[in-house]
Amino acid sequence: MMELSLVLAGILAIGFFSQWLAWRVRLPAILFLLLAGILLGPVAGWLHPEHLLGDMLFPVASLSVAIILFEGSLTLKFQELPGIGPAVRGLVTYGAVLSVILLAGAAHLLAGLRWEIAWLFGALTCVTGPTVIAPMLRTVRPNARIANTLRWEGIVIDPLGALFGVLIFEAIVSRREGHSLWIFLTTIGAGALMGYVAALILGALLRRHLIPDYLQNFGTLVAVLLAFTLSNELAHESGLLAVTVMGIALGNMRGVHIEDILDFKESLTTLLVSILFILFAARLTLPLPDGMGWAGVAIFLVAQFIVRPVTVLLSTIGSVLTWRERALIAWVAPRGIVAAAVSALFALKLDALGMNDAGALVPLVFILIIGTVVLQSATARPLARWLKVAEPDPTGVLIFGADRVSRAVAQSLVDAGFRVVIADDDWDGISAARMEGFSTFYGYPASNYAERHLDLTGVGRLLAMSTNRERNSLVSVHYRQEFGRERVYRLRIRPPTADKDRDAFATNLLAPPLFAEDMTHARFGALLDRGWRIKSTKLTATFDWPNFIEQYGSNTVLMFGVEERGALRVASAKRELEPRPGWHIIALVPPGIGVT
């Protein structure tokens, strides 16, 4: 028992380190998880999942994949599909079908897989998920049209690809077990019906507040696992379809707030993915079956240089994308969580049915994942620069906080020509910001949900201005890696004290304070109540910063400076600005002075 506990704790520790390392180097975590499993399993021979978990390996893997598919399906919003543009619609519809056909053909011809396994391979590897796209986009920094196209493709095709793969798997199982077409259709119907009914029941309980807040995450997890197991009892192998339909239905239900559930499921998915991928990779055998290594490399080359370019070329006909933008989109298509998790689970199930060549599914998928992630992560940024579709140094500003103080500061930056995104999980503040015309994000900007949905194209600074000191601290730490330590600031919640020990944690966790040493959120708001206003002025040789102070008073609070070349400078107690002629300065000035 002690040995099993030690091994499980070690797997968790290695999974955490892999996730942390991926965060540090801005690469998809799946790459480090798979490499860790390969090193622990087939290379070193230290980890043997079958010996470790025994008969529990299959149930644990099945339930974990069910949760992963539910979490992914929960993010698909029907109302967003019409607005994703012709290019994305093409990529996730006939482009995805074409990709499945070409990948299946490659797997059949190059790896010798029987057609039914080849079709399953094509369905599972046609998807690019947000968990691998988001880190790559942060590094590549393409223009907005490319970033939005790739991001939305990953978000939409993730659950759709999973659903496609489940349907093909159901067809294979039905045919393998001698089932009729009617039994196959019954299996599909049972899974879809069970998932939809489970979503209706859970949605009704959540909408009517019959489950207390602190039990909603627990209740949702129980509902997902019950739907999965009951569906499998009603119709063999229909559980994965049930949880996929359940997630899509619940995510599109009106009056059901799933933000907290989604955050919980994302955290749980991170844990499960870390464990599963290490275990799945550890099950690989080295050397690979005869010819599978070279076949996997050949399939990767076909996918990279033929399948993706052809599907992008045909899918983007009639779109506004230029040939340069299409070229970069055709290069970037990393595979991720759905392909790895579902392929490993299906391989286990098909192997139990006596399909010997199902064992080749996992190494071929893993080779494709590692190949696309490594090659594209290393080359996408230089290619974007060569194609001249990379964004210059990001000048936009992310503001955490949506109250009137944050909105007033945001408006001054928008007026100065900067892109501003206001992010907060306070619905009233976000609603007011939207009414005022700001770009907004409803959610906590340091969450996994934000990793998928928060569009940071062109954004390179953070101003943490919420009224919660601890959350400002966490956001600041999170975005130091994203933007750099010198581009993260926060507005004080309380003034500094004479006792330095009381603010000891701030020196390690918090960013430099905005504007003045004694400026706090409450004081800023009080000054606005007393009639102070934010003033923007261009300094000249005859009207420089001392002249500005002379006109508006020594109490003037300098906020920002915009250099002649357009660079934004942020005033801080730790980094004082010296405005020069030619700058535009933004300052908080007393009432009644300089008003004509």
Beta bridge partners of 420: 397
Q: Amino acid letter at 183?
A: I
Task: Yes or no: say if 160 and 167 are a contact pair by the CB < 8 Å rule.
Answer: no
Q: Amino acid letter at 20?
A: W
How far apart CA 245 and CA 163 sit, in angstroms, is 8
Q: Residue 514 is encoded by which pair of tokens?
A: 């905005």
What architecture (CATH level 2) is domain 2-44+61-387?
A: Up-down Bundle (1.20)
Q: At what angle do helices 404-415 and 521-529 cross, to 10 degrees?
A: 80
User: What are the sequence ranges of the domains in the chain?
Assistant: 2-44+61-387, 396-589
Question: What pLDDT does residue 3 have?
Answer: 72
Question: What pLDDT does residue 237 have?
Answer: 65
H/E stretch holding 442 reads strand 439-442
User: How far lies 333's CA from each of 2, 3, 71, in Å?
Assistant: 43, 41, 21
Segments in 235-360 forming alpha helices (H): 239-251, 259-282, 292-302, 308-315, 323-331, 337-352
Exposed, middle or buried, 46 (CB in 10 Å: 0-12/13-18/19+)? exposed
Strand ranges inside 448-552, DSSP E: 459-464, 488-490, 533-538
Q: Residue 512 is encoded by which pair of tokens?
A: 């430099």
Beta bridge partners of 440: 422
Question: What pLDDT does residue 596 have?
Answer: 40
Question: What pLDDT does residue 265 have?
Answer: 66
The alpha carbon of residue 55 and the mean position of all alpha carbons in its chain are separated, in whole angstroms, by 34
Taking the alpha carbons at both ends of the chain, their separation in whole angstroms is 81
How far apart CA 101 and CA 250 sit, in angstroms, is 31
Nearest to 453, CA basis, from 444, 462, 464: 444
Three-class DSSP labels, 392-414: CCCCEEEEECCCHHHHHHHHHHH
How far apart CA 193 and CA 189 sit, in angstroms, is 6
How far apart CA 469 and CA 101 sit, in angstroms, is 53
How far apart CA 286 and CA 367 sit, in angstroms, is 13
Q: Residue 48 is encoded by which pair of tokens?
A: 């043997």
How far apart CA 277 and CA 14 sit, in angstroms, is 11
Q: Residue 141 is encoded by which pair of tokens?
A: 């920094």
How far apart CA 67 and CA 228 sit, in angstroms, is 9
Exposed, middle or buried, 218 (CB in 10 Å: 0-12/13-18/19+)? exposed
Question: What pLDDT does residue 595 have?
Answer: 47
How far apart CA 312 and CA 327 sit, in angstroms, is 8
The pairing of strands 584-589 and 439-442 is unpaired
User: How far lies 576's CA from each of 516, 564, 573, 579, in Å?
Assistant: 9, 18, 6, 10
Q: Residue 167 is encoded by which pair of tokens?
A: 């349907």
Question: What pLDDT does residue 7 have?
Answer: 82
Q: 396-589 in CATH: which number?
A: 3.40.50.720
Question: What pLDDT does residue 45 have?
Answer: 81
Q: What is the pLDDT along the chain (596 residues), one digit of tens a residue?
A: 447 778 888 888 998 998 888 777 767 777 788 888 888 888 888 888 877 777 777 777 778 878 877 876 776 666 655 555 778 788 888 888 899 899 999 999 998 888 888 888 888 888 886 667 777 777 777 877 887 788 778 777 766 676 777 778 777 777 766 655 666 677 778 888 898 999 999 888 888 888 887 888 888 889 888 998 898 888 766 777 788 888 888 888 877 777 667 666 667 777 887 887 788 778 777 776 666 788 889 999 999 999 999 999 998 887 888 888 899 999 988 887 777 777 777 777 777 777 766 777 888 888 888 888 888 888 888 898 898 887 766 778 899 988 888 898 898 888 888 888 999 888 888 888 888 888 888 888 887 777 777 777 778 888 888 888 888 888 888 888 777 777 888 888 877 664 454 555 445 556 788 887 778 888 888 888 888 888 888 888 888 888 888 888 878 888 888 887 878 888 887 777 788 888 888 888 888 665 44
How far apart CA 113 and CA 130 sit, in angstroms, is 29
